[in-house]
């Protein structure tokens, strides 16, 4: 057969759900696997996956063919999943569109054959129709087979590392067409089977295979050292044959085919073979090598009750538009095999055609004894590839994968709480490593997805990106001796005085009055009674000053009138402490607001409190945080259905003051009732005091970002209970700040899942996030002329 036209040789007789009834009499159950992300697995993870595969496959019936097929294709990134509405979204979409990457699909097939002995002749015409006709009904034998495969699939799915789903008929049909159409797109073609090469449309094909025990070196294992990321002080692992997977970076398919044989039959055959070879081992070194290998296999069978003898075949089919490139690709594959101490076989002529055709799922039972190696199932499973591309979520924040620098969406909000119970996050990185840049990237995308942002900032890092949304942001900046314009007592109508409002106000007053003391329930009840009485008897100009005067004027009869025991509320002490905040008190300016200004923030979705001038004054900062908390409760948290994030930037400077930590802990407790998250940014986790309050904050922080830290990650690992592989990932972080594709790498842990991601952005986004330096000054100079940040960024890029 020199030419195959698929329409004339359609290999499938019928498909029901994911069950293929092939024209040659085989019945094939078809599945697609979702494998863990590349670089996310530790040495133990590889061992665990190997165990999972062994436990799942070992009990399948004698005569089953298991075919795992990993298809890798060079593709152009479509960017269809990326948002494309705002200025920065469009810039990101256009920047990454058409970037080349390797697409990967992992398929798993289980074949029930009519020939359980697998004694195939050297060449079988795969398109020859079965003489006994096709099994059309689910007979007892087939039902039993389906049940066994179903148990196997359930076991794999329960591993949690691997997801698995049945293929649907349309997917099976498309795969068949694609395979025999040589992965050409846009047209149908025929397979030309020449002695020199195999050509399908624009693609030329070749193959390399492991088809004998002699191909293997001394040993195989579940994983090996990843030389690219391993350093002197840590070892990074990859799967044993991962070098033949994504990182090969060529169009290819890895086919791993297992024939599950009868252990007892093989024991007898091998015993007989050993006897024959023992007699002839003196006639050549090759015979002695074969004898040694067969004796090893026999020892495994006899010494391990769980041993499952299989015959296996592994091949790598590869293709390219230029026939001259096939030799280059073959060299790359041979180099990978050499690293593993494996010598592949290069099929030619009829054999190459045979390997290519029989690597299609319906034909993988056609290999003869000469194409198969004999080994134990555990040995063969070391040759499984157990990882894939980074997984992209349906929605989320855009980061970049580590392999191709293409965008992946990571759902760090997790609406359904499948990965995390609390969506609070923390960013750790020393000065100069890009903390604010990363925070800008995360917050900007949240904002454009409809999340309301409140940023409490001591460094002025967010004003520039805010200016891209002129109608939607406000910056409340503290200036010495001036109020922020937040009046916690302000109400627009009497209906505002509800239990929640009184509760919030009482907390605010008691924190102001007794910030260093433990406040009891009795005090809380007393202050709420007084507040209620105040609002009933005051008609206008509600403020702290007004409330203070109200109590001062009634101090002699107030407690008696409200039936409050003096032990529960000390009026003299209260008036003394609060005198500092009213009249001519030292900090009275903080509350000088005849009218509440929080209406300014009610309709804003991006609110920045800039407290740079106050960062060294414990008292003012403490009061400011209380005022901000009051404003947040009355405006942002009014609508619990609305998503919101509160970010504390330069958090370490705020933490110098003991009561700040407790104030922030309040947010962590309160945010649970809201549809929101808290974010903190620290140079080092050591800046969080090692106490119960910090422990509570860290416990409720389930999304961790860490950038490069040359001082190491010991404390981060200790305080966050990170795994040894998390530490290896952290140590493997490498930034690339030169060349065409500049990026920083970061460790992201979402619940229990972790990996290294990259942050690469287009020039427009880079310009929007800059917070200092000459480039930032140049952009701001243009902005002051144009009063339009988008125009300023475009002009800056045009001039660069």
Share of the chain above pLDDT 90, in %: 48
pTM above 0.85, yes or no: yes
* Average confidence (pLDDT) over 279-302: 64
Tell me which residue of 77, 326, 315, 106 sits closest to 203, measured CA to CA: 326
Secondary structure letter of residue 593 according to DSSP: -
Residues 6+ apart with CB under 8 A from 348: 195
* Average confidence (pLDDT) over 413-426: 86
* Average confidence (pLDDT) over 584-597: 75
* Average confidence (pLDDT) over 68-93: 95
Please give the pLDDT value at position 206. Answer: 94
Q: How far is Cα of residue 627 from the mean position of the Cα atoms in its chain?
A: 37
* Average confidence (pLDDT) over 653-658: 67
* Average confidence (pLDDT) over 96-103: 96
Confidence of residue 115 (pLDDT cuts 50, 70, 90): low
Q: How far is Cα of residue 322 from the mean position of the Cα atoms in its chain?
A: 36
* Predicted confidence (pLDDT) per residue in 502-522, tens digit: 888 888 888 788 655 556 788
* Average confidence (pLDDT) over 68-91: 95
* Average confidence (pLDDT) over 202-217: 90
Secondary structure letter of residue 13 according to DSSP: E
Mean pLDDT in the chain? 86
Distance CA 626, CA 613 (A): 17
Q: How far is Cα of residue 161 from the mean position of the Cα atoms in its chain?
A: 13
Does the pLDDT at position 269 exceed 70? no
Confidence of residue 800 (pLDDT cuts 50, 70, 90): confident
* Average confidence (pLDDT) over 76-105: 95
What count of other Cβ atoms lies within 10 Å of the Cβ of residue 628? 21
* Predicted confidence (pLDDT) per residue in 31-41, tens digit: 999 999 999 99
Does the pLDDT at position 118 exceed 70? no
HEC per residue, 64-112: EEEEEEEEEEEEECCCCCCCCCCHHHHHHHHHHCCCEEEEEEEEEEEEE
What count of other Cβ atoms lies within 10 Å of the Cβ of residue 539? 8
Please give the pLDDT value at position 661. Answer: 76
Q: Which of 396-410, 463-477, 591-605, 753-767 has the lowest mean pLDDT?
A: 591-605
* Predicted confidence (pLDDT) per residue in 529-588, tens digit: 999 989 888 888 888 888 999 999 988 888 888 898 888 888 898 899 889 988 888 888
Beta strands in 599-752 (DSSP E): 606-610, 644-648, 676-682, 701-706, 744-750
Confidence of residue 781 (pLDDT cuts 50, 70, 90): very high
Q: Which of 526-530, 576-580, 599-603 has the lowest mean pLDDT?
A: 599-603
Please give the pLDDT value at position 71. Answer: 98
Please give the pLDDT value at position 600. Answer: 65
Distance CA 780, CA 768 (A): 10
Q: Which of 13-22, 243-252, 486-495 has the lowest mean pLDDT?
A: 486-495
Does the pLDDT at position 162 exceed 70? yes
* Average confidence (pLDDT) over 637-666: 76
Please give the pLDDT value at position 517. Answer: 54
* Average confidence (pLDDT) over 715-742: 92
* Average confidence (pLDDT) over 216-221: 85
Please give the pLDDT value at position 650. Answer: 75
439 vs 140: which has the higher pLDDT:
439
120 vs 611: which has the higher pLDDT:
611
DSSP H helical ranges for 690-759: 692-699, 714-720, 724-731
Please report the DSSP string for 366-408 in residue order: ---GGG-EEEEHHHHHTT----BSPP--SSSEEEE-TTT--EE
Share of the chain above pLDDT 70, in %: 88
């Amino acid at each position: 057969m020199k030419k195959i036209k698929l329409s004339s040789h359609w290999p499938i007789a019928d498909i029901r759900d994911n069950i293929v009834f092939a024209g040659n009499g085989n019945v094939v159950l078809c599945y697609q696997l979702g494998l863990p992300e590349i670089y996310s697995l530790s040495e133990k993870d590889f061992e665990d996956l190997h165990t999972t595969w062994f436990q799942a496959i070992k009990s399948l019936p004698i005569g089953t063919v298991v075919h795992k097929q990993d298809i890798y294709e060079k593709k152009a990134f479509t960017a269809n999943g990326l948002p494309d509405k705002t200025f920065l979204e469009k810039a990101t979409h256009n920047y990454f569109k058409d970037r080349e990457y390797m697409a990967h699909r992992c398929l798993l097939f289980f074949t029930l054959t009519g020939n359980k002995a697998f004694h195939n002749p050297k060449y079988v015409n795969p398109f020859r129709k079965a003489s006994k006709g096709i099994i059309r009904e689910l007979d007892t034998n087939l039902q039993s087979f389906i049940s066994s495969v179903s148990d196997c699939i359930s076991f794999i799915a329960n591993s949690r590392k691997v997801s698995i789903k049945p293929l649907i008929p349309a997917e099976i049909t498309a795969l068949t067409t694609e395979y025999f159409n040589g992965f050409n797109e846009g047209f149908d073609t025929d397979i030309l089977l020449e002695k020199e090469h195999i050509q399908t449309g624009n693609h030329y094909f070749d193959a390399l295979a492991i088809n004998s025990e002699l191909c293997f070196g001394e040993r195989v294992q579940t994983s090996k050292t990843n030389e690219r990321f391993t350093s002197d002080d840590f070892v990074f692992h990859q799967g044993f044959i991962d070098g033949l997977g994504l990182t090969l970076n060529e169009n290819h398919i890895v086919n791993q085919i297992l024939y599950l044989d009868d252990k007892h039959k093989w024991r007898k055959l091998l015993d007989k073979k050993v006897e024959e070879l023992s007699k002839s081992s003196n006639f050549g070194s090759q015979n002695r090598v074969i004898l040694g290998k067969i004796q090893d296999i026999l020892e495994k069978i006899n010494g391990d009750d769980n041993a499952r003898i299989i015959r296996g075949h592994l091949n790598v089919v590869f293709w390219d538009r230029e026939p001259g490139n096939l030799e280059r690709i073959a060299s790359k594959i041979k180099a990978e095999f050499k690293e593993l101490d494996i010598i592949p076989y290069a099929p030619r002529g009829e054999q190459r055609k045979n390997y290519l055709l029989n690597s299609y799922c319906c034909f993988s039972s056609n290999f003869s004894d000469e194409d198969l190696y004999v080994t134990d199932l555990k040995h063969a499973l070391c040759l499984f590839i157990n990882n894939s591309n980074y997984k992209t979520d349906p929605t989320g924040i855009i980061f970049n994968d580590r392999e191709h620098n293409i965008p992946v969406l990571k759902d760090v909000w997790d609406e359904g709480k499948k990965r995390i119970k609390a969506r609070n996050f923390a960013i750790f990185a020393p000065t100069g490593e890009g903390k604010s840049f990363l925070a800008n990237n995360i917050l900007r995308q949240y904002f454009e997805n409809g999340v309301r942002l409140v940023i409490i900032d001591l460094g002025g890092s967010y004003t520039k990106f805010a200016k891209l949304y002129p109608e939607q942001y406000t910056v409340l900046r503290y200036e010495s001796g001036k109020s922020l314009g937040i009046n916690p007592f302000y109400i627009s109508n009497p209906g505002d005085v509800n239990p929640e409002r009184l509760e919030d106000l009482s907390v605010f007053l008691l924190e102001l009055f007794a910030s260093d003391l433990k406040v009891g329930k009795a005090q809380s009840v007393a202050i709420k009674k007084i507040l209620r009485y105040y609002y009933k008897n005051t008609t206008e100009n509600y403020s702290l000053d007004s409330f203070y005067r109200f109590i001062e004027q009634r101090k002699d009869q107030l407690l008696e009138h409200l039936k409050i025991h003096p032990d529960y509320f000390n009026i003299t002490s209260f008036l003394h402490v609060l005198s500092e905040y009213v009249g001519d008190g030292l900090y009275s300016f903080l509350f000088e607001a005849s009218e509440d200004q929080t209406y300014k923030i009610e309709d804003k979705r991006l609110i920045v409190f800039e407290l740079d001038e106050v960062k060294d004054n414990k008292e003012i900062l403490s009061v400011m945080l209380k005022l901000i908390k009051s404003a947040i409760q009355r405006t942002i948290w009014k609508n619990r259905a609305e998503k919101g994030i509160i970010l504390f930037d330069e958090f370490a400077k705020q933490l110098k003051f003991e009561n700040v930590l407790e104030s922030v802990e309040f947010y962590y407790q309160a945010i649970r009732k809201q549809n929101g998250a808290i974010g903190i940014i620290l140079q080092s986790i050591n800046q969080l005091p090692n106490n119960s309050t910090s422990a509570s904050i860290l416990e409720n922080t389930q999304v961790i970002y860490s950038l490069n830290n040359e001082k190491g990650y010991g404390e981060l690992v200790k305080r966050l209970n990170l795994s040894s592989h998390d530490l290896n990932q952290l140590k493997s972080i490498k930034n690339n700040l030169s060349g065409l594709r500049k990026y920083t790498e970061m460790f992201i842990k979402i619940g229990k899942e972790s990996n290294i991601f990259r942050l690469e952005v287009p020039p427009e986004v880079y310009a929007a996030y800059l917070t200092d330096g000459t480039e930032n000054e140049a952009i701001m100079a243009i902005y002051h002329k144009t009063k339009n940040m988008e125009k300023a960024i475009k002009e800056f890029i045009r001039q660069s």
